[in-house]
Structure 1
Amino acid sequence: MLLGPQGQPVSPQGPQVPEELAVLPSPEVVLFPYMLLPIPVTDQRLVRMIDDVVAGERKILGLFALREPDKGPTPENLYKVGTAAGIAKMLRMPDGGVQVLLQGIARIALEDITSLEPYIKARVRPLQDEVEKTLELEALVRNAVSLFQRAVSLAPNLPDELGIVVVNIPEPGQQADFIASHIRLSTAERQEILETLDVAERLRKVLSYLNREVEILELSSKIQSQVKGELDKAQREFFLRKQLEQIKKELGEEDEHTAEINQLRQQIEEAGLPEEAKKEALRELDRMAKMPPQAAEYTVARTYLDWLISLPWNRSTEDNLDVERAAEILDEDHYGLEKPKERILEYLAVRKMKEDMKGPILCFVGPPGTGKTSLGRSIARALGRKFVRVSLGGVRDEAEIRGHRRTYVGALPGRIIQGIRRAGSNNPVFMLDEIDKLGADFRGDPAAALLEVLDPEQNNAFVDHYLDVPFDLSKVMFITTANVLYTIPPALLDRMEVLELPGYTEPEKVEIAKRFLIPRQLEEHGLSDGQLRIEEDALRKVIRNYTREAGVRNLEREIAAICRKAARRIVQGEAESVVVGEDDLHDFLGPVRYRHEVAEEEDEVGVATGLAWTPTGGEVLFVEAAVVPGKGNLILTGQMGDVMQESAKAALTYIRSRAESLGIEQDFYRKWDMHVHVPSGAVPKDGPSAGITMTVALTSALTKRPARKDVAMTGEVTLRGKVLPIGGVRDKVLAAHRAGVKTVVLPEENEKDLEDVPEHVRQELKFAFVKHMDQVLDLALRR
């Protein structure tokens, strides 16, 4: 690399590359443009070539690497891309050979061979870098420079000045070449970088090799320091033990109390406690030394010290930062759940680039049985960390989180510190299960205590009431789970990154059953694959007609029931193997429990098909409306909540305002009572999303126009007839698909939410996006 007067790199100002060059074959060396490279030449034909080039006017030759060094410098064995190099210096050796110092000028492509004797000559073409100045290119350059500086600081053979030189190189392509020429690469890898003309792609390849080099250097450095540390520790322990032996000989045997105090003192020294915790532990130990072992306070102090000593203050497990391996483990344990998996892999990638990053605070929200808890265990396995699970369901005491003060009899640390102790490391995956089911009473609010635990800015100094010294929780990866979000206090919810785990679709349930549930139940019931086979059609019928859930827990129970009956048949000698088809399910599971198909039923006046969201997934909801003689009363039944009742009133007002255009008498509300009922009357219902469904049902009843059963709808309605967006679109659409609905009516602003709906469901359904109630009536009512 040429340097200017201020130490900045400059391009060599030499002649242009001639069209024909003498070729210098290189068995194991690749030269990059603007780099200097000494090469010894002993072959007399090549020595003659060097002499001819030096005697010429331009002193330029072409350096091309050999594909297979053992086969010799034949034209077929030369790579097609090489480097035009100027001879900066030549030194003759006593054995007749020469040592030449080459300086790269430009990348060249070998067009064809023009001469083979007395040495190879070829016609060449200069190659230009392809550079597009973008933010991505800038990011690649910065990453490459930063990693190279890290490699320079770790490698004993690289001078520190290289880290300064690389920053001052003006062109990204030259920076990539400079870095590639100073790290350990094979000839094939160097040639690959030389042949890459796209500078951004070249930087990506350099980054890949640079990452590998830095990992190797860091591992070497770690091994070196570990060996040195172990030697120093062993020597120190040897001398201390010898001194201890001599002291014991001089003083005689110690009593039990003194031995216990000394043992505790040694454990405190070895526990690696922070300064504040160590000071508190030694203060408590001094108190213990002054009191008799029979004292009640002695046991309390001893228990406290045991807790302090046993905590993993500086013990961490080493993270598995192999993103591909982590992805394999996550896919091996769970099917689907792409968003949570993607978030974990992103954390791993960032953790690989920034070692001291704080652990994320994630909240998995979804219906029961969708794999939230088991996903946490899988994440711990993928990261190579310990896993701790604490259930918060029904916890009502703040001390369960923060612990009890030591003044109370039987005081203990809270569940957080207990979990850390069980894990044995200060960076486990810590799952707080069912965080939406926390309670509160006169003993305090545990949700408020969790505010400090789940705040990355505060939890590096979490103080448990029992320990009364700060403990660093910033390395812990906290994962919370919940079925719903509205019961979680806003301040607590704000501290967590929410990841939704929606209900599974039918094809996903089939895959989960085949990959996980059936093999697990076969193993638990002592059956082999050949003894019981459940056909896919039967599996689909179990999902449709014997379970109604967003998760797969009931599905696994039904599979277990099939396994039990199959095992009994085999044991009683009725059959050697059992195949369960769709028609056999009645014998194994009894009559069908649920019926989803609604598209076959006839259209009816006053009955509209709506879509609802529940914690267990989406449901199809029928809204019935009837008109009877009366005085204009609106009767609402079916355990409707306040918001749902207001939606019904808004629907009626809209119909009154549009009575003429709908063909309804203007004073209908004086002569008739309108009754709106939502079946499943024992189940409470609420929310504004049934607004358009109730409007359609009422309009159908008043106009005597049948409502189409194959059209399901959801959306909030205003007095002016506008249709407003709602939530839970994915689950509602899946429910419509499951029920055999052909058309789904959604608010226009919810069109973006269809991205979360599986592709096969979108293709099988027709969607109508509406802005006004008039559009809904045109779609939902028969003429």
Structure 2
Amino acid sequence: MPEEKLTIESAINKLRDKSKSVKLPDGLVESLNELFAQLEVNSKSEDTFWNFYQSASKYIDWIIKLPWNTQSQDILDLDHTRQKLDENHYGLDEVKQRIQEYVSILALQKSRHPQEPFRAPILLFVGLVGTGKTTMAKSIADVLGRQLIRIPFGGLGDPLYLRGQSRLHPEAEPGAIIRGLAQAKTNNPVILLDEIDRVADDALNTIMGVLVELLDPEQNDRFSDHYLDYPFNLSQAFFVATCNNTARIATAVMDRLEVIQMPSYNDEEKMMIGKKYLLPKALKESAITSDELIINDDMWPNIVRPLGFDAGVRTLKRNIEGLCRKTAALILSGTPKIVIDDNNVKKFMPQW
């Protein structure tokens, strides 16, 4: 029996030491002290102790993973901003200008009032499928040098996915926000709320309620996750949301968002995007050189619009990737060079 008591005591001390390995908020330290007191009480019964211990150990593992006091250093250089935006996106000058303005404000704020917390704007990119909403959010993270957390809302039907589940449930874990922060390891990431208009109908109201708390500057400095059961400060995160249509988004959520329209691309813009961005990337991913695959300029309209109009560039991307796959197969079959022209373009494009 004394050996069992020692084993239990060492287990509790192990958790105490683990909790002291990082600097935690004072209120959370007090909560952990209460948790350790409960462990002491449960230590009188070995059967109940080890079940409670496993739950407590998992909870502390999550707590020490979180970036309570860790921030990434922002890159606040307008030349860098322009370069990164142009590198990842063709056109979209008004959208790029807005982002440069936000970076300028952030730079001024940090240089003139470094002690005052800066609340980043909460952007909503609205546009049709394939117009660059998600990639623009990724570019913002790239521009600022911040980590990116993407949370997909398409088909989301349970608000607990965002808020987490109480530790009273055996399989409980934190919600997507807290899990993302643990992975990002900084408390000022770019948090992408992707397709917030595609939430399941039966959960629309409750999920919009969570979004209000997430996006409200007066509330998100103490975001409550059910598993964590302690407020986390999200005020330094940069929230970006995307949607195809704003009709299903609650008015209370819309009031907290700055809407930026993502325009559709015309055929000329798509041809430039295909030549400058999509084709070089597809060639690299397929291990094909630009000498092995040549597309005549007058063939690009067939690649851009083989089957009709598409507002975005996803169809164009798929067409180019398919063309590269067919080229790779021909190269391995002994054809050293493929030139896409009027005679063979239909063989490389989807036909329905």
From the CA coordinates, give the structure whose radius of gyration is larger: 1
Q: Say which SS state the counterpart of residue 359 (structure 1) adopts.
A: coil
Aligned to 1:570: 331
Give, in angstroms, the shift of residue 365 of structure 1: 1.0
Which fold has the larger relative contact order, with Cα–Cα distance below 8 Å and residues 6 or more apart in sequence? 2
Aligned to 2:345: 585
Of 539, 546, 554, the match for 2:315: 554
Q: CA 1:443/1:334 → structure 2, altered by over 3 Å: closer, same or farther?
A: closer
The one-letter amino acid paired with 1:503 is S
Matched, 1:312 2:67: yes
Q: CA 1:286/1:536 → structure 2, altered by over 3 Å: closer, same or farther?
A: farther
Q: Say which SS state the counterpart of residue 445 (structure 1) adopts.
A: helix
C-alpha contact 1:368 1:550 (8 A) present in aligned 2? yes
Matches within 5 A, 1:372-387: 372-387=133-148
C-alpha contact 1:359 1:456 (8 A) present in aligned 2? no
For 1:403 and 1:582, locate their aligned partners in 2 and report how far apart those are by CA, in whole Å: 56
C-alpha contact 2:319 2:350 (8 A) present in aligned 1? no
Matched, 1:291 2:42: yes
Q: Say which SS state the counterpart of residue 354 (structure 1) adopts.
A: helix
Q: CA 1:443/1:541 → structure 2, altered by over 3 Å: closer, same or farther?
A: closer
Q: Say which SS state the counterpart of residue 465 (structure 1) adopts.
A: coil
The one-letter amino acid paired with 1:320 is I
For 1:307 and 1:301, locate their aligned partners in 2 and report how far apart those are by CA, in whole Å: 10
The one-letter amino acid paired with 1:329 is K
The one-letter amino acid paired with 2:59 is Y
For 1:303 and 1:440, locate their aligned partners in 2 and report how far apart those are by CA, in whole Å: 34
C-alpha contact 1:459 1:473 (8 A) present in aligned 2? yes
Aligned to 2:254: 493
Give, in angstroms, the shift of residue 527 of structure 1: 1.2
C-alpha contact 1:562 1:588 (8 A) present in aligned 2? yes
Q: Say which SS state the counterpart of residue 265 (structure 2) adopts.
A: coil
Of 23, 27, 37, the match for 1:272: 23
For 1:298 and 1:286, locate their aligned partners in 2 and report how far apart those are by CA, in whole Å: 12
C-alpha contact 1:547 1:554 (8 A) present in aligned 2? no
For 2:75 and 2:200, locate their aligned partners in 1 and report how far apart those are by CA, in whole Å: 37
C-alpha contact 1:510 1:536 (8 A) present in aligned 2? no
Alpha-carbon displacement from aligned partner over 1:380-415 (angstroms, at most 9, x marks no partner): 111111111111111111211222122223122211
Q: Say which SS state the counterpart of residue 492 (structure 1) adopts.
A: helix
Aligned to 2:282: 521
C-alpha contact 1:538 1:581 (8 A) present in aligned 2? yes
For 2:322 and 2:174, locate their aligned partners in 1 and report how far apart those are by CA, in whole Å: 43
**Is there any run of 5+ residues in structure 2 with no aligned partner, and where?**
111-116
Q: CA 1:444/1:309 → structure 2, altered by over 3 Å: closer, same or farther?
A: farther
Of 175, 179, 202, the match for 1:414: 175
Aligned to 1:31: none
For 2:21 and 2:98, locate their aligned partners in 1 and report how far apart those are by CA, in whole Å: 38
Given the two structures, how large is their TM-score scaled by the length of structure 2? 0.89
Q: Say which SS state the counterpart of residue 305 (structure 2) adopts.
A: helix
Matches within 5 A, 1:339-488: 339-355=94-110, 356-441=117-202, 445-488=206-249
Aligned to 1:321: 76
- Residues matched between the structures, number: 338
Of 79, 85, 89, the match for 1:330: 85
C-alpha contact 2:149 2:192 (8 A) present in aligned 1? yes
Give, in angstroms, the shift of residue 468 of structure 1: 1.6
Q: Say which SS state the counterpart of residue 137 (structure 2) adopts.
A: helix
C-alpha contact 2:216 2:256 (8 A) present in aligned 1? yes
For 2:212 and 2:247, locate their aligned partners in 1 and report how far apart those are by CA, in whole Å: 17
For 1:504 and 1:519, locate their aligned partners in 2 and report how far apart those are by CA, in whole Å: 19
Root-mean-square deviation over aligned CA pairs: 2.2
Give, in angstroms, the shift of residue 256 of structure 1: 4.8
C-alpha contact 2:150 2:193 (8 A) present in aligned 1? yes
The one-letter amino acid paired with 1:272 is K
Aligned to 2:113: none
Matches within 5 A, 1:725-736: none
For 2:204 and 2:10, locate their aligned partners in 1 and report how far apart those are by CA, in whole Å: 41
For 1:459 and 1:266, locate their aligned partners in 2 and report how far apart those are by CA, in whole Å: 30
Q: CA 1:422/1:580 → structure 2, altered by over 3 Å: closer, same or farther?
A: same
The one-letter amino acid paired with 2:238 is M
Given the two structures, how large is their TM-score scaled by the length of structure 1? 0.41
For 1:426 and 1:459, locate their aligned partners in 2 and report how far apart those are by CA, in whole Å: 12
